[in-house]
Structure formats: C-alpha cells, structure tokens
C-alpha cells in the first residue's frame, strides 16, 4: 500500500532555476548624443526571478540622453547607481565622472553587469575616465549599505536610478536606501536623479 507522504514526494518536480534563465546575450549598440556604447544584453526578460535587469529599459534611455546632454553634471563626481541592470548608465557616465559604483540585487544580473564592465575596460573600448565598480545591493539591506559606505566613506555626489520604481512594494525600501546614502553628505551635497517612463494603462 502506498503511503500519503510517498505519493506527495513523487509529485514534487525538482527543477533547477537555471533551466529558466536565458543568458544568450547579444552585443547591441546604443547612441546617446556623440557617445556610442556597445554592450551585451537581451531583448526581453523574465519577471519571474526578477531578471528585468538583463535588458536596457526606457528609463535608462531617458537618463542616458539626459546625461549625454548635461555632462557637466557628472564632472568630478562620485556616483552610485541603484538597480544598474546591464550597466548602460554607468558605462556612459564613467566617461565623464570621477568614480561610478554600479549595484544590483540579482546574482544573474550582476554576472552580465560584470561582463559588460570588463568589456569596457578592455583596450578597444577604453574611453572610460572613471573606474567602474560593481557591488551587490538589495534595497533596504543595512549590511550591504554599510559595506558600500565603508568602501566609499566620503559618500557620493550623485545617486542615479533608471526604471527602478515599477514595483510598488519595493519603493519604501528603495527610498530608505536612498535616504541612507543621501545622509552621508551634508544637506544638498548629494542629489538623487530618478528616471522613469510610466507604462501604466489608464
């Protein structure tokens, strides 16, 4: 006779998470003003494991156009980006700023982010002025925020975010993280620029 527990065990299908991950990245070219950027990305991505960071979002296109038209804003600045995805904003900004820290919470996204940073550190693409650094940062994670602030004790002049406020539930933690980063500098010494294009259907 088959016992209930055995039947339930048989019904559990163990699927490796990597089975659902598409990492067939293609090299794509983007132009912002006079700046051309080639990087690896996908054209579509899954929201199931929050792999949204595998592609370039409209918010990043908006922010990068703004940066390309206002490069003075970045000159001499230390910058941190939240939810960097494939890193297109950091790669463009590093051509004008002093230091740029790219962050994301998703390990799969961090892998492609690091590959794109290496691609841009290579000789053929070496028109960066600032060093690009990648750090893991889940919004609201005090340990990770402290770790970043230990490594960058004087804080940042600028916090950037592109297309990172599409999920209502994560907004309080996002703003708590921004507040902690803003507090390191005196009032008005650090700015937060958030780029977002609403996709809400009315």
Ligand X SMILES: C[S@@+](CC[C@H](N)C(=O)[O-])C[C@H]1O[C@@H](n2cnc3c(N)ncnc32)[C@H](O)[C@@H]1O
Is there binding between residue 53 and ligand X (CB under 6 A)?
yes
Nearer to ligand X, 10 or 143 (CB): 143
Is there binding between residue 108 and ligand X (CB under 6 A)?
no
Nearer to ligand X, 6 or 118 (CB): 118
List binders of ligand X among 133-162 (CB under 6 A): 137-139, 162
Is there binding between residue 105 and ligand X (CB under 6 A)?
yes
CA 66, CA 70: separation in Å to the nearest integer? 6
Near ligand X by CB under 6 A: residue from 35, 125, 144, 170: 170
- How many beta carbons lie within 10 A of that of residue 89, not counting itself? 30
Near ligand X by CB under 6 A: residue from 39, 59, 94, 100: 59
State residue 94 phi and psi, 5-degree precision: -65, -15
Residue 126 burial (10 A CB sphere; 0-12, 13-18, 19+):
exposed
Is there binding between residue 106 and ligand X (CB under 6 A)?
yes
Nearer to ligand X, 64 or 78 (CB): 64
Q: Are 108 and 54 in contact (CB under 8 A)?
A: yes
Count residues near ligand X (CB under 6 A).
Answer: 22
CA 148, CA 99: separation in Å to the nearest integer? 13
Near ligand X by CB under 6 A: residue from 37, 60, 159, 181: 60
Is there binding between residue 56 and ligand X (CB under 6 A)?
yes
List binders of ligand X among 81-100 (CB under 6 A): 83-85
Q: Are 72 and 46 in contact (CB under 8 A)?
A: no
Near ligand X by CB under 6 A: residue from 37, 42, 57, 95: 57
What are the DSSP E strand ranges found in the chain? 26-32, 35-41, 78-82, 99-104, 131-136, 158-162, 191-195
CA 162, CA 193: separation in Å to the nearest integer? 8
List binders of ligand X among 11-40 (CB under 6 A): none
Q: Please report the sign of the dihedral spanned by the C-alpha atoms of residue 68, residue 111, residue 100, residue 195.
A: positive
Nearer to ligand X, 31 or 189 (CB): 31
Kindly list the residues in this chain that would bind ligand X in the complex (CB under 6 A).
50, 52-53, 56-57, 59-60, 83-85, 104-106, 109, 137-139, 162-164, 166, 170
């Amino acid at each position: 006779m088959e016992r209930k527990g055995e039947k339930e065990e048989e019904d559990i299908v163990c699927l490796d998470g990597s089975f659902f991950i598409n990492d067939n990245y293609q090299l794509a070219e983007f132009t912002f003003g006079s700046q051309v950027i080639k990087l690896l990305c996908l054209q579509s991505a899954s929201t199931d494991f929050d792999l949204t960071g595998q592609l370039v979002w409209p918010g990043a296109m908006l922010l990068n156009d703004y940066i390309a038209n206002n490069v003075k804003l970045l000159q001499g600045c230390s910058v941190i980006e939240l939810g960097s995805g494939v890193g297109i904003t950091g790669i463009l900004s590093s051509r004008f700023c002093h230091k740029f820290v790219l962050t994301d919470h998703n390990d799969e996204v961090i892998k492609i982010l690091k590959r794109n940073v290496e691609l841009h550190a290579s000789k053929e693409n070496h028109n960066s002025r600032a060093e690009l650094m990648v750090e893991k940062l889940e919004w609201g994670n005090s340990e990770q925020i402290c770790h970043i602030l230990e490594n960058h004790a004087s804080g940042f002049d600028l916090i950037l975010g592109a297309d990172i406020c599409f999920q209502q539930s994560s907004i309080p933690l996002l703003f708590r993280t921004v507040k902690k980063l803003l507090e390191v500098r005196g009032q008005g010494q650090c700015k937060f620029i958030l780029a977002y294009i609403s996709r809400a259907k009315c």
